[in-house]
Amino acid sequence: MKLIRYAYPQSQASSAFNRLFDLGAPTIERFGSIFDDLLGAEAGFHQPAVDLYEDDQNFYARFELPGVNRDTVDLELENAVLTIRSQEETKEKSEVSRTSFERSISVPDGVELEKVSAEMKDGILTVAMPKAEARKPRQISIN
């Protein structure tokens, strides 16, 4: 028996353009594009990729959202689950295209909800979630 790696089918449009323009360079694409390929790009459904970081004061979530207008993004933090949602309609001539996505990630406990802030720059959304006092590292002096 042979195991053959399953190649995700590409949408017709993108494979046509790859034939036209591809120079054979390896493609590293975000995981989200797999859903586009499976459901067809018309479904307009993908999950944005996210990085989670921490330093002594904050947890940080970084989302890559190229081309997303900040006004269409909704952020919600509840029970240590951070949810990002966006729905956008663009009208071009007589065509209306809708893009929407939603992603929920779990963040560590102990975030000061009132002080969460978010910033969008060059297609990258950074959410800063300050740690509650009890979670911060503390220097303990030895007497």
Partner 1 sequence: MSTELDTIQTPEKKAHAHNWQRPLYDVSENDDAFIVRVSLPGVNRDGVDISLEEDTLTVIGTRTSQVPEGWRPLRRELTTGDFRLSLRLNVPVNEAKIKASVENGVLDLSLPKADEVKPRKIKIS
Q: Which residues here bind partner 1, judged by CB under 8 A? A: 17, 20-21, 23, 25-31, 33, 49-55, 59-60, 62, 64-69, 108, 120-124
- Closest separation between CB of residue 66 and partner 1, Å? 4
Cβ nearer to partner 1, comparing 2 with 121: 121
- Closest separation between CB of residue 52 and partner 1, Å? 4
Query: 64, 53, 59, 50: which is closest to 115 by C-alpha?
Result: 59
- Closest separation between CB of residue 57 and partner 1, Å? 10
Phi/psi-derived region of residue 38, left when phi > 0, alpha when psi is between -120 and 50, beta in every other case: alpha
Cβ nearer to partner 1, comparing 33 with 100: 33
Cβ nearer to partner 1, comparing 64 with 102: 64
- The CA-atom distances, in angstroms, between 67 and each of 7, 21, 58, 104, 115 are 28, 23, 27, 20, 27
The number of beta carbons lying within 10 Å of the beta carbon of residue 111 is: 20
